[in-house]
Structure 1
């Protein structure tokens, strides 16, 4: 079964700024996560490997280009406000 597609407008923040509930300011690897996300954005990559668990995390630019929110709690979801 496919996830529902929810068309929304982009949140009023830059693609380089994750929602505070999805990446807390006191996260122990926040700086490294933001560095990797920034590298993905500037390099035109769809995402990056999470430094703590090795999972692939989609970038905000990739999610915005996809055009909808999947409601799965993506760290860099550009639609969550």
Structure 2
């Protein structure tokens, strides 16, 4: 994924943070700003996607 969404730069600490392993982890706020579920089982998914069943819980 690009480091931009809708032409806006991502803000560390607001849109994402770095995990201890150095990975970019997107926040719930970022997912809501993006506006849809990518169905990847993201750690902070506000849409309630369950990767095990493939269903949205909300």
Q: Which bracket does the TM-score occupy, shorter chain normalised?
A: 0.5 to 0.7
The higher relative CO (CA closer than 8 Å, separation ≥ 6) is in 1
> For structure 1, which runs of at least 5 residues remain unmatched after alignment?
1-38
CA shift, 1:65, in A, is 1.1
Greater share of residues in helix = 1
Runs of 4+ in 1 over 4 A off after TM superposition: none
| Deviation readout 1:15-74 (Å, 9 max, x if unpaired) | xxxxxxxxxxxxxxxxxxxxxxxx92xxxx2100011x1100001001011110000010
The number of equivalent residue pairs is 38
The root-mean-square deviation of aligned C-alpha atoms, in Å, is 1.7
What TM-score, normalized to structure 1?
0.43
